Amino acid sequence: MSTLIENALIVTQDQTRRIFRGNVQFDGDTITYVGREKPKSESIIDGTGKIVIPGFINTHAHVGMSASKGLFDDVDLERFLDMTFKYDAQRTEDGIFNSARIGMYEMINAGITSFVDLYYSEDVIARAAEQVGIRAFLSWVTLDREFTTQKGDPLDNAENFIRSHRNMRFVRPSVGVQGIYVASDETYHRAKEIADRYDTILHMHLSETRKEVYDSVKKIGERPIEHLDRIGVLSDRVIAAHCVWSTYHEAKILGKDNVNVSWNSVSNFKLATGGVPPIPEMFEAGANITLGTDSNGSNNSLNFFEVMKFSALTLKNARWDASAIKSQQILDFATINAANALKINAGSIEVGKKADIVILDARAPELIPTSEINVVNNIVYSAGPGIVDSVIIDGIFRKKDGKLIGFDQSGLSSAENFI
């Protein structure tokens, strides 16, 4: 069915970053018109006082941990990891499923239409994603067998997951690696082979902490990015989460290898991992910069507006330069850059692109006044989830007129439902 959103302020995120007042039509799962004319449509939405943008794309999450918010706060990273490992060890499929659904609805509520996940039991999370109706790029986490609590070989589990979940509507299965501290070169090479064979992304934590980097130098004589480059693992398939402890030299390596970096500023600061990644240098070198929330355990929320604003502010402050990064770059990271990382036909409001569309309410107090001149600034620096009016994923409304569709709180009030 064709639907026309008329008389809205449209932030296209197309190649010229065009912004204008006009109309957007989608039919089925595809955008069919963007302009000032009003093509005949079966359904019309009044966009007066509204902003139309492409859906946000969250490039790093652990959505199965969404019910862990508030459980691991105010502790150092070593204690945090110990607590999360114990938490994971006692979990059930029902708990992971319910937790994943909660996280998916939280993301939709904040305008996220696609996300990238790194976890075990991605088959359970896939069921939740198909039920909720959100684009889910699910990377089964792998590591050396001596470190895992998974049954069987993690790499075999990842390959089996990809094979059995390749033809779903919203789920794109893939392989991930936990990190260099628990993965040998053989594990990385096998994971890369799986990603190459099935043409998937390769998702991993990389250079997240100083300890990770220093331990790598002690053990193998190379920093993690340098090492993975030398053994041929890095490529444009890779979505590397964090990269906080990267040198300018490593920024050039990431660019040379066309790596997609997922910047998780809120999580990194909450865990006090220290430092700010050299984003301008990565960007200048040719790396593709995107944004991630990380988990509710280390971030507490999946609020992409918060991620956008905080990312910009941390870099500006670290460089003592308010012009070090611009709001348009941040919005690019959140939309079109992330779509390019995932190689999906989304991330902008253009004819032929997927109908992954978010409608914002410009009449909310925090967005008044908004015009073509300041709309991008206001989205990045002033907005929050409360101004998300509607969310459309693959042409289907998942939030409409400020209300989530399909979200049922009944039976989910007890913490026992999430273990």
Cα 112 from Cα 64, distance rounded (Å): 16
Residues 245 and 148 in one domain: yes
Report field, pTM of the whole predicted structure over 0.95? yes
Give the CATH number, domain containing residue 365. Answer: 2.30.40.10
Give domain status of residue 417, yes or no. Answer: no
Give domain status of residue 416, yes or no. Answer: no
Residues 229 and 282 in one domain: yes
Give the CATH number, domain containing residue 62. Answer: 3.20.20.140
Place of tokens 């109309």: 23
Residues 123 and 17 in one domain: no
Question: b or e along 298-317 (b: 16 or more beta carbons within 10 Å of the residue's beta carbon)?
Answer: bbbbbbbbbbbbbbbebbbe
**Strand 56-61 versus strand 112-119 pairing type:** parallel
Give domain status of residue 308, yes or no. Answer: yes
Residues 320 and 298 in one domain: yes
Give domain status of residue 189, yes or no. Answer: yes
Q: How many domains does the chain have?
A: 2
Give domain status of residue 409, yes or no. Answer: no
Q: Please, which residues have CB within 8 angstroms of residue 242's CB and are 6 or more apart in sequence?
A: 60, 205, 206, 207, 208, 262, 263, 264, 268, 273, 277
State residue 84's pLDDT score. 85
Q: How many CB atoms lie within 10 A of CB 36?
A: 11
Please report, in tens digits, the pLDDT of each residue of the chain (419 residues total). Answer: 999 999 999 999 999 999 999 999 999 999 999 999 999 999 999 999 999 999 999 999 999 999 989 988 998 877 888 888 888 878 899 999 999 999 999 999 999 999 999 999 999 999 999 999 999 999 999 999 999 988 999 999 999 999 999 999 999 999 999 999 999 999 999 999 999 999 999 999 999 999 999 999 999 999 999 999 999 999 999 999 999 999 999 999 999 999 999 999 999 999 999 989 999 999 999 999 999 999 999 999 999 999 999 999 999 999 999 999 999 999 999 999 999 999 999 999 999 999 999 999 999 999 999 999 999 999 999 999 999 999 999 999 999 999 999 998 765 655 556 66
Query: Starting from the edge strand earliest in sequence, which strands make up the sheet with 202-206, in order?
Result: 56-61, 112-119, 135-142, 171-177, 202-206, 238-242, 260-263, 288-291
Give domain status of residue 184, yes or no. Answer: yes
Give domain status of residue 45, yes or no. Answer: yes
- The residues facing 242 across adjacent strands are 206
CB 367 within 8 A of CB 387: yes
State the number of CA atoms in the 13 A half-sphere of 264 facing the CB. 36
Residues 317 and 371 in one domain: no
Residues of the domain holding 160: 56-342
Residues 262 and 366 in one domain: no
- The encoded tokens of residue 326 equal 């611009």
Q: Please, which residues have CB within 8 angstroms of residue 234's CB and are 6 or more apart in sequence?
A: 225, 228, 240, 253, 254, 257, 259
Cα 189 from Cα 102, distance rounded (Å): 34
State residue 78's pLDDT score. 79
State the number of CA atoms in the 13 A half-sphere of 312 facing the CB. 22
User: Which of left, alpha, beta for 58 (phi over 0: left; psi -120 to 50: alpha)?
Assistant: beta
CB 300 within 8 A of CB 352: no
Domain end marker among 342, 370, 393: 342
State residue 410's pLDDT score. 65
Radius of gyration of the chain (CA): 21
Query: What does DSSP assign to residue 279?
Result: H
CB 97 within 8 A of CB 416: no
Residues 294 and 332 in one domain: yes
Domain end marker among 291, 325, 342: 342
Residues 167 and 105 in one domain: yes
Residues 204 and 317 in one domain: yes
State residue 419's pLDDT score. 62
Give domain status of residue 199, yes or no. Answer: yes
Residues 305 and 359 in one domain: no
Cα 414 from Cα 417, distance rounded (Å): 6
Query: What does DSSP assign to residue 387?
Result: G
Residues 115 and 228 in one domain: yes
State residue 376's pLDDT score. 98
CB 60 within 8 A of CB 289: no
Cα 207 from Cα 213, distance rounded (Å): 6
State residue 416's pLDDT score. 55
Return the H-helix or E-strand segment holding 54: strand 50-54
Residues 138 and 198 in one domain: yes
Q: Please, which residues have CB within 8 angstroms of residue 97's CB and are 6 or more apart in sequence?
A: 124, 125, 127, 128
Domain end marker among 288, 311, 342: 342
Treating both helix axes as pointing N-terminal to C-terminal, what angle do 327-334 and 304-319 enclose, rounded to 10 degrees? 140
Return the H-helix or E-strand segment holding 403: strand 403-404
